[in-house]
Amino acid sequence: MHAIAATLVNLLAIYAACGLIFAVPFALRGAGALDPAARRGSRGFRLAIVPGTVALWPLLLAKWRRAARAKAAP
């Protein structure tokens, strides 16, 4: 039972670390790509979206990629 708990904690730590790595470029550029109002967001706004970005990074990554593809399509 201890091994299962340790594995789950490790997986959660890896997920959170990936989220933190993703959150920096997303807060700086990605949020503005998804929402035009976010382009004018302050530093406080960008800091406030970091926890949600860390939690939802796979979903936000997929949306950011779709937005980039749609913008690049002729």
Average pLDDT over residues 42-59: 96
Amino acid at 21: I
> d(Cα 73, Cα 49) in Å, to the nearest integer?
28
Assign 9 a pLDDT band (cuts: 50, 70, 90). Answer: very high
Domain that residue 22 falls in? 2-72
Q: What is the pTM of this model?
A: 0.86
User: What distance separates the 2 farthest-apart alpha carbons in the chain?
Assistant: 54
pLDDT value at residue 71: 86
Give percent of the chain above pLDDT 70. 100
Q: How many domains does the chain have?
A: 1
Assign 18 a pLDDT band (cuts: 50, 70, 90). Answer: very high
Q: How many CA atoms lie within 13 A of 36 on its CB side?
A: 0
DSSP 8-state secondary structure symbol assigned to residue 56: T
Assign 26 a pLDDT band (cuts: 50, 70, 90). Answer: very high
Dihedral sign, Cα of residue 11, residue 13, residue 14, residue 20: positive
